[in-house]
Amino acid sequence: MLDDLQHACRRLVSRPGASALAVAMLALAVGLTTGMFTLLDALVLRPVPFRHPDTLVQLSVGGDHTRRNVVSPAVLRAW
């Protein structure tokens, strides 16, 4: 295993451009993965910041075969 490690180090030193590209690609991959997990955690995995999220509703207006439109707060107050 020590011979393999020495060989890998010699290859990295002999080709600095390829080594820098490999390190940059790994850094980019780690950064993108961290960003995607952060986004997924914030949008999907964390609970909704409401006291009783199972009671939230969305009111819409429209028939069975038409496009539904979300009810505005003004129409909701009028109802």
Q: Residue 34 CA to chain centroid, in angstroms?
A: 8
Number of domains in the chain: 1
Task: Give the C-alpha separation, 39 to 30, whole Å.
Answer: 14
pLDDT of residue 32: 98
CB-based contacts of 28: which residues, under 8 Å, 6+ apart?
A: none
pLDDT surpassing 70 at residue 63: no
Average pLDDT over residues 50-79: 80
C-beta of residue 48 within 8 angstroms of C-beta of residue 55: no
In our burial notation (b when 16+ CB lie closer than 10 A, e otherwise), range 19-29 reads: eeeeeeeeeee
Q: What is the pLDDT of residues 13-45, one digit of tens each?
A: 999 899 999 999 999 999 999 999 999 998 888
pLDDT of residue 52: 86
The whole-number average pLDDT for the span 39-66 is 82
Domain that holds residue 48: 2-78
